[in-house]
Amino acid sequence: MSNHRVSLRFVELSDPALDEFAANNVICLTGNSVFPNLPVAPAALGGLHTTFHNALVASAQGGAQLTAAKNEAREALEIALRKDAAYVRSIAGQNLSQLLSSGFKATTTTRTYAPLETPVVLNVDNQLSGKLLVDLGNIPNAAADQVRALTSAGVVVVTVESTRARKIELPGMTPGTTYSLEARAIGGSTGYSDWSLPTSIMAT
């Protein structure tokens, strides 16, 4: 049986990417019955994420004090994520699907660096005018996911990269236009997985 570890590479993410990762982590852990006794509960983790997010936005104005506040908020968030990551591994180290349900990525004890699996588009929400929200299946060992929208003529309209697999936003969609959506994972031995089978959807 494979022994899966929780990847701690979120500490290497840029500030905006960590902001996105933590937001998804809170969503995935909230109400997740697999992990009932998290050392940092989802509500508390959400508070730390909100503090970091607000500090990140404020730091865009520049200045040593605002930057320091952002860095302190990031450190507190990373510590909390590390604590929850250790707990998730203790519960789901032998069950990959449970581990991935936490929002964390997985690594295995094997040293094989293999090509990534091809992601699957699970759902597309077109309720927001001019936007599509795409849900993907989690791919083990993927660093991020990439989603693109193409017209019927095969022209790529927008490509978005995201470190979370849920609610990836594709902006700039023209209402009434049908698009083909494709996704691929980033990482692995080849850099990218194959593109997924196209999913057709009309923007509203």
Over residues 2-13, the pLDDT tens digits come to: 578 888 888 888
pLDDT(117) > 90:
no
Residue 111 has pLDDT above 50, yes or no: no
Mean pLDDT over residues 186-204, rounded? 84
* Residue 75, pLDDT score: 94
Stronger pLDDT, 42 or 108, i.e. the higher one: 42
Q: In DSSP terms, which residues pair with 192 in a beta bridge?
A: 186
| 67-105 pLDDT tens trace | 999 999 999 999 999 999 999 999 998 888 899 999 998
Q: Give the amino acid at 143.
A: A
Helices and strands (H and E) in the chain: how many: 4, 10
- Asked if residue 140 has pLDDT above 70, the reply is yes
What is the per-residue pLDDT for 103?
93
Instruction: State how far the Cα of 51 lies from the Cα of 47, in Å rounded to an integer.
Output: 6
155 pLDDT exceeds 70?
A: yes
Side-chain-side CA neighbours of residue 59 (13 Å): 19
**Residues 58-65: what's their mean pLDDT?**
89
**HEC secondary structure over 106-168:** EEECCCCCCCCCCCCEEEEECCCCCCEEEEECCCCCEEEEEEEEECCCCCEEEEEEECCCCCE
Distance of alpha carbon 24 from alpha carbon 143, whole angstroms: 14
- Are 138 and 145 a contacting pair, CB within 8 Å? no
How far is the C-alpha of 175 from the C-alpha of 178, rounded, in Å?
A: 9
CA–CA distance from 119 to each of 18, 24, 88 (Å)? 22, 18, 23
| Other Cβ atoms within 10 Å of 167 Cβ, number | 15
Q: What are phi and psi of 53, to 5 degrees?
A: -60, -45
Compute how many other C-beta atoms are within 10 angstroms of the C-beta atom of residue 36: 7
Q: What interhelical angle do 42-59 and 15-29 show, nearest 10?
A: 160
List the structure tokens of 94. Answer: 């032998």
Indicate the domain borders of the chain. Answer: 4-108, 121-202
Q: What six digits make up the tokens of 92?
A: 């789901």
Residue 109: what pLDDT? Answer: 53
**DSSP H helices in 60-93:** 64-92
- This prediction has a pTM of 0.56
* Burial of residue 187 (number of CB atoms within 10 Å: 0-12, 13-18, 19+): buried
Please give the average per-residue pLDDT across 44-65, as a whole number: 93
pLDDT at 143: 79
- pLDDT score at 31: 95
Q: Which fold has domain 121-202?
A: Immunoglobulin-like (2.60.40)
